[in-house]
Chains A and B, each alone.
Chain A
């Protein structure tokens, strides 16, 4: 996890790496309301953003925070907010607004135990489904989950790139362990980082269609104040951005919003395979529990058990086709997560009963111990299926 790169070794937390990644991606506007265990993201950015010529705003609450980053993004700036479960709940309405109005922005949720104020200082992965369906209505969403400090940096950059490329809010799902763990990293230098900026219109001011049904499904986005004038609304709208009730227009809009993500799923979906070549037992995990899982895989391999790990870096859209394919080669899945099985249900759906899906869960604020996973692996290695 200390992947060598230019620069010197540092020991920093995931939250600090997230702030650094955002700056490297070109984020220049942050609005937030500090909350444990995400507060250090705001803390670091409050000190650093002004030095980059950016704006740091501490807002009155989380509703205001996401409202501010949507508005600022419309002016052409890359924007971000960071929160935890309780704040993420408050952001759901405007998250849907950003999906509907196609405004790129990054929302970081450093997950802690819930529901409600729950366990402020303890880890959880209980907001995975909230990230998917927390805001109402049929919609697509992109959510990424890093498992190390270095990967937090990389996926924060990627979150901005995907947001800009597909004109959509992107959720970075961290958890308390990844947010607060101090780890040795070598951060990449500027020329090692690929940064994508939104496509802006080049045509005439009069003919600009802010929600044009282009072949790429992603219309060019004009900066407010650049001369292109358009209407922004959460209501269903036509290509001009004005509200419509016409079924044919609504269908075109809804299809395009879906297709800009679903048609590009291979570009968005990202996962890592560890010791999967000859695996009979496959573990699926993400975020900090993927670390426990990888540790357990190494221990099980020492015991001569052929087990591997599929580690999701992209949670949404879900890697269902990839999981289906792997299911042809392995005997069973064990899904490891700090909730009651939110992703396990998705895996079951993808596998469609072809092989069994087992779960290792924990919801009491204690991290999942590798030995707990090892026990499950040993138990299942001896079972005839």
Chain B
């Protein structure tokens, strides 16, 4: 039975969601030997504005590279949540930053309110790595890609010299998701 798993990562331009999407796609495609695409939608602004990055993971060819029936939505800002929460699959997973996204009233989904930005600031020491903390949480909750694959992909993709910081951020996210159970 073939599968198609759709992930939408949303937030503000500059939060690194395009990079997070690329890492997730590389983890699936290169290290877990699945097929994956990553695409993005953003405005003409250099920074700010609602931004989204979409990853499709499948065990067969992916024709349409955009999300239409979302299995997992991440939102790091209220604006991006409001703008991009449509197209959710019934019963799908919604992960939001619990401080930035206050207004989540949607029913029929698995909603996880997580202190993503706070974890990045307090446990890792850099708010900049909130995107990677989020990847740890996504890996822990969805299990759509293996932890090992994501670690490899992070190491290969993040700027040289920041590998340790980013792997720590991933670990912090992963542990936060484990504490849920």
State whether A11 touches B38 (Cβ < 8 A). yes
State whether B68 touches A182 (Cβ < 8 A). no
Residues of chain B lying within 8 A (CB to CB) of residue A1: 35, 61-63
Cα A378 to Cα B35 in complex, Å, equals 29
User: Chain A 62-100, CB within 8 Å of chain B: the 1/0 string?
Assistant: 000000000000000000000000000000000000000
Assess whether B44 is interfacial by the CB under 8 Å rule.
Answer: yes
State whether A121 touches B39 (Cβ < 8 A). no
With contacts A11-B30, A11-B36 known, is A181 near B65, CB below 8 A? yes
State whether B63 touches A295 (Cβ < 8 A). yes
State whether A181 touches B39 (Cβ < 8 A). yes
Residues of chain A lying within 8 A (CB to CB) of residue B43: 121
State whether A370 touches B68 (Cβ < 8 A). yes
Assess whether A213 is interfacial by the CB under 8 Å rule.
Answer: no
Cα A183 to Cα B33 in complex, Å, equals 13
Cα A370 to Cα B4 in complex, Å, equals 15
Assess whether B25 is interfacial by the CB under 8 Å rule.
Answer: yes
Kindly provide the distance from the CB of B46 to the nearest chain A CB, expressed in whole angstroms.
Answer: 11
Residues of chain A lying within 8 A (CB to CB) of residue B63: 1, 291-292, 294-295, 298, 370
With contacts A10-B30, A121-B44, A369-B68 known, is A2 near B22, CB below 8 A? no
Kindly provide the distance from the CB of B112 to the nearest chain A CB, expressed in whole angstroms.
Answer: 26
Kindly provide the distance from the CB of B133 to the nearest chain A CB, expressed in whole angstroms.
Answer: 22
Residues of chain A lying within 8 A (CB to CB) of residue B39: 177, 180-182
State whether A370 touches B64 (Cβ < 8 A). yes
> Which listed residue (A2, A8, A294) contacts B35, Cβ 8 A?
A2
Assess whether A205 is interfacial by the CB under 8 Å rule.
Answer: no
User: Chain B 5-28, CB within 8 Å of chain A: the 1/0 string?
Assistant: 000000000000000011001100
Closest to B29 in A: A184
Scan residues 36-73 of chain B and give those whose CB is less than 8 A from a CB of chain A: 36-44, 61-66, 68
Cα A2 to Cα B61 in complex, Å, equals 7
State whether A295 touches B64 (Cβ < 8 A). yes
Residues of chain B lying within 8 A (CB to CB) of residue A199: none
Cα A1 to Cα B60 in complex, Å, equals 9
Closest to B62 in A: A1
Closest to B30 in A: A9
Scan residues 262-312 of chain A and give those whose CB is less than 8 A from a CB of chain B: 291-292, 294-295, 298
State whether B65 touches A184 (Cβ < 8 A). no
> Which listed residue (A8, A184, A294) contacts B36, Cβ 8 A?
A184
Assess whether A317 is interfacial by the CB under 8 Å rule.
Answer: no
With contacts A2-B35, A11-B38 known, is A177 near B30, CB below 8 A? no
Kindly provide the distance from the CB of A115 to the nearest chain B CB, expressed in whole angstroms.
Answer: 16
Residues of chain A lying within 8 A (CB to CB) of residue B36: 11, 182-184
Residues of chain A lying within 8 A (CB to CB) of residue B68: 369-371
Closest to A274 in B: B63
Scan residues 362-378 of chain A and give those whose CB is less than 8 A from a CB of chain B: 367, 369-371
Closest to A182 in B: B38
Assess whether A120 is interfacial by the CB under 8 Å rule.
Answer: yes
State whether A182 touches B25 (Cβ < 8 A). yes
Closest to B66 in A: A367
Residues of chain B lying within 8 A (CB to CB) of residue A9: 29-30, 33
Scan residues 1-21 of chain A and give those whose CB is less than 8 A from a CB of chain B: 1-2, 8-11
State whether A184 touches B64 (Cβ < 8 A). no
Which of B21, B26, B65 has the largest number of chain A CB atoms within 10 A? B65
State whether B65 touches A291 (Cβ < 8 A). yes
Which of B22, B38, B61 has the largest number of chain A CB atoms within 10 A? B61
Residues of chain A lying within 8 A (CB to CB) of residue B38: 11, 181-182
Cα A292 to Cα B41 in complex, Å, equals 17
With contacts A181-B65, A367-B66, A369-B68 known, is A120 near B35, CB below 8 A? no
Kindly provide the distance from the CB of B149 to the nearest chain A CB, expressed in whole angstroms.
Answer: 12
State whether A184 touches B30 (Cβ < 8 A). yes
Residues of chain B lying within 8 A (CB to CB) of residue A180: 39-40
Kindly provide the distance from the CB of B53 to the nearest chain A CB, expressed in whole angstroms.
Answer: 10
Q: List 17 A-B contacts (CB under 8 A).
A: A1-B35, A1-B62, A2-B29, A2-B61, A8-B30, A9-B30, A9-B33, A11-B30, A121-B43, A121-B44, A122-B41, A180-B39, A181-B39, A183-B65, A184-B35, A184-B37, A291-B63
Task: List 9 A-B pairs, minimum CB-CB distance, nearest first.
Answer: A184-B29, A182-B38, A295-B63, A295-B64, A294-B63, A11-B26, A181-B39, A291-B63, A120-B44
Q: Which residues of A are interface residues toward B (Cβ below 8 A)?
A: 1-2, 8-11, 36, 120-122, 177, 180-184, 291-292, 294-295, 298, 367, 369-371
Q: Which residues of B are interface residues toward A (Cβ below 8 A)?
A: 21-22, 25-26, 29-30, 33, 35-44, 61-66, 68
Q: In the complex, given contacts A183-B62, A370-B68, what are 17 additional A-B residue pairs having Cβ atoms less than 8 angstroms apart?
A: A1-B61, A1-B63, A11-B22, A11-B25, A11-B26, A11-B38, A121-B42, A177-B65, A182-B37, A182-B38, A183-B36, A184-B25, A184-B35, A291-B63, A295-B64, A369-B64, A371-B68
